[in-house]
Amino acid sequence: MARRGNQARRLKSPSARPPVTREFSAGGLVCRRVRGAWAVCLAGRRIHPGSDLVWILPKGHVEDGERMEDTAIREVREETGLDAEIVERLGDVTYWYARRDEDEKAARIFKRVRFFLMLFHGGRFADRDEEMDDVRWFSLERAETMLAYANERALMARAHQILDRLAP
Taking only the tens place, the pLDDT of each residue in 122-140 is 998 888 878 888 999 999 9
* Domain 20-166 classification at class level: alpha beta
- Residue of 81, 91, 82, 97 whose CA lies nearest to 18: 97
Q: Residues 23-50: what's their mean pLDDT? A: 94
Phi and psi dihedrals of 161, rounded to 5?
-65, -45
- How long is the chain? 168
The rounded distance, in Å, linking the Cα atoms of 26 and 72 is 5
The pLDDT value given to residue 1: 47
Cα→Cα distances 139→39, 120, 145, Å: 4, 14, 10
Q: Is residue 15 over pLDDT 70?
A: no
Q: Is residue 21 over pLDDT 90?
A: no
